[in-house]
Amino acid sequence: MTRSRRRPARLVALTATATALALTAAACGSGGSDGGSTGAAAPSAAGAAPAALDLKAAGCPSTIVLQTDWNPESEHGGQYQLLGPNPKIDAGKKSVTGELTAHGGVDTGVKLEIRAGGPAIGFQTVTSQLYKDSGITLGYLGTDEQIALSKTQPTVAVLAGLEKSPQVIQWSPDKHPDWKTIADIGRTDTKVLYFQGASYMDYFTGSGILKKGQVDGSYDGTPTNFVASGGADAVQGFATSEPYTWSHEVRSWDKPLKYQLIADAGFNFYQQAIGIRKDKLDALKPCLSKLVPIMQQGIVDFMAAPAATNKLILDLVDKYNNGWVYSQGVADYAVQTMKSLGIVGNGADSTLGDFEDARLQKLIEILDPIYQSQGKPILSGLKPANLVDNSFLDTKIGLGT
């Protein structure tokens, strides 16, 4: 679904990529050779963890396994933030494991293993991994993917890792100085390159925002066709990546890009939501009641002071060595962009990571007829409550609180 289609569209293209808060991350440890380590948090506090942070006592697995949807990057920073000092890197398995630490270094009594997705899992969906490997505790989900698989592989999201999806349609401001929105593109016959199968494009063409005749699903993640058009085409991308990399690290383009977020054009799904298999929810409730607030705070801490965790992310990219190129420049740009565009942010209230029913209901109404027409019916009578559970969140944790 969306994430599995998102990232192949960035892999080759990058071969050339709040307010001060009360709690901040401490400095990271030193890097090493393959299988070495880099720490993202301060040393664990002495003695037992406070009851609210004791995940072992809450019945959490001894190692909480988180399956991500792509290679390490700053959009995942809030989760890598939770790794304690000197985590063990397994370059072969594309995973990293360390003590799960809270609030800048308190040992919670369990370990955290974060697995890379995308090429590391053969570009399969995270949902498929959750159902294939029962040892995975949590995974990154997109609510469009959740809706599509609600009948066959149901999942429940417990934390919105991103408030807005960073997906965009982008264009050359030199070639198209009058464009401000995706709808402006639809008033022309300009070709729009995208990765085939993206549900947002079915929405754009079905609603008339773009014409079916102007969209081209042959985008392969490289800037080649866009550059060959001289910037005449529009192309999908991510606000946290291509506007920086294509203008700084892709020599064949090396010019600015403008864009509009897909979320701001009407397809406002939750991307990188953290969730579990539906059939595991009841057993994990005691664990999630303590784990989810720790994960909320991890995002807050990362956004306040990302440098140490970004250093770990860059080290992991280097150790995994699978063709993914990720620079310090794009890591810094991604954090700045997530802040400025509200990609990471609070929901409608002051809570970070909550889900809005009205937003989810609108998405269900958009996607139900699309999936029906594709012969992939969703769960009959699907409601937001089937997809998400806000009950584990600490409503007092948010950016700026």
Mean pLDDT of 163-167: 97
How confident is the prediction for the chain on average, in pLDDT? 89
Report pLDDT for 49: 75
Q: Which residues of 73-107 are buried (b: 16+ CB within 10 A; e: fewer)?
A: bbbbbbbbbbbbbbbebebeebbbbbbbbbbbbbb
As a whole number of angstroms, the distance between CA 146 and CA 251 comes to 38
pLDDT tens for 16-62 read 333 333 333 333 333 333 344 444 444 334 346 788 899 999 999 99
Give the torsion through C-alpha atoms of 124, 242, 183, 353, to 10 deg.
60
Q: How far is CA 189 from CA 125, 183, 223, in A?
A: 33, 12, 20
**Are 270 and 142 contacting, i.e. CB atoms less than 8 angstroms apart?**
yes
As a whole number of angstroms, the distance between CA 312 and CA 279 comes to 33
pLDDT tens for 292-339 read 999 999 999 999 999 999 999 999 999 999 999 999 999 999 999 999
Report pLDDT for 48: 63
**Are 260 and 204 contacting, i.e. CB atoms less than 8 angstroms apart?**
no
Percentage of the chain beyond pLDDT 70 is 88
pLDDT tens for 104-115 read 789 999 999 999
Residue among 354, 4, 387 at smallest CA distance from 163: 354
Percentage of the chain beyond pLDDT 90 is 84
Report pLDDT for 348: 87
Farthest CA pair distance, the chain: 65
Question: Predicted confidence band at 249 (pLDDT cuts at 50, 70, 90)?
Answer: very high
Q: How far is CA 114 from CA 62, 271, 320, in A?
A: 14, 18, 13
Mean pLDDT of 365-369: 97
Neighbouring CB atoms inside 10 A of 22's CB total 9
